[in-house]
Amino acid sequence: MTVKAMVLRSPGANCDVETAYALECAGAVADRIHINRLRERPQMLHDYHILVVPGGFTYGDDVAAGKILANQLSSFLSDALQSFRDRERLILGICNGFQALLKAGLLVPPDEDGPLATLTHNDSGRFEDRWTYLQATSSRCPMLKGCRHLYLPVAHGEGKFICREPWILHGLQESGQVVLRYTGLALRDEEVGYPANPNGSEGNVAGICDATGRVLGLMPHPERHILPTQHPRWTREELATEGDGMRIFRNIVEYFL
C-alpha cells in the first residue's frame, strides 16, 4: 500500500518542502498542492490519506496569524475537510497550520458566542525561536502513538494558547484533547514558566487534537528535527538514530499500514 500525503501550499507558507521531505523519509508519497488547486477541486482530497498544513506566515499573517488561511478553509473547504476526517483520514497542522486549523474551527468547534480557544501573541512580545521539551499527555491521537517526551524547536510570534473561559481548558484536558505540553528539562508534568513555556500558553499547551483524535495541531516543528544532526547539541552528546520529530511522521504512515 502507498500512503499518500498532501502538503497544502499557500502564499507565505515556507515549511512545505521540509514537511514533504519528512513524510517521504517516513515512507509516504508527498505532493505539495496549492490551496487554489484544492479550492477548485476539493475532491482531490479523496486521493490522499493525510493532509498537512505546514508552518510559515501565510498571507503575511495579516489580521492575525493563520486567520486568512483559516477563513479559506472554513468558507470553501469545510465540508470537504470534515468528510476527509470522517473517512478516518488524518489532518496535521504545524505552527501556522495549527493556527489556521484552530481558527477554522476544525480542532475546537465554535459555539453561538464564537471561538472557544485561539492562539495569540507570545507573552514575551517577540518572536520566539528556541528548542523546547515536550510531554505527550494523551494516547487519544494516533499521530503521537508511543511518544512520551519530544525535543522540538518552536519559531513563532503568536503561539500562546488561550481559552475563552477556564472551564473550556478544563474540558479539553478532561477529554484528552490536550495532547502536548511544554515541560522543563526535568520532563515532569508540572507548570513551567518562560522560556520552557516559550509563549505563555495556558496549561503549558503546545498541541491539541480534535474530539476524534485524527486532527492534530501543534506549535513546535517536528519537520525541523528529522535528522539526528539537527539536534543543537549533536556534536557534544551521543548521536541519536533519528530526530524526535520523525516519530510523528512514522506514526502517520504506520496508521494506514
Q: Is the separation of the CB atoms in 56 and 13 below 8 Å?
A: yes
In sequence order, which residues have a C-beta less than 8 Å from that of residue 144 and are 6 or more positions away? Answer: 136, 138, 179, 180, 216, 248, 251
| Catalytic site residue from 49, 156, 221, 225 | 221
Catalytic residue status for 156? no
Q: Which of 160, 144, 143, 148 is nearest to 203 (CA)?
A: 160
Q: In this structure, are residues 68 and 58 in contact, taking their beta carbons and an 8 Å threshold? A: yes
CB 226 within 8 A of CB 106: no
Which is catalytic among the residues 147, 156, 223, 225?
223
Q: What whole-number distance in Å separates Cα of residue 168 and Cα of residue 116?
A: 7
Catalytic site residue from 18, 25, 49, 95: 95
The single residue listed with the C-alpha cell 502538503 is 7
Annotated active-site residue 95? The verdict is: yes
221 is catalytic: yes
Where do the H-state alpha helices sit in 26-77? 35-40, 67-76
The alpha carbons of the chain give a radius of gyration, in whole angstroms, of 17
Q: Which residues carry out catalysis?
A: 95, 221, 223
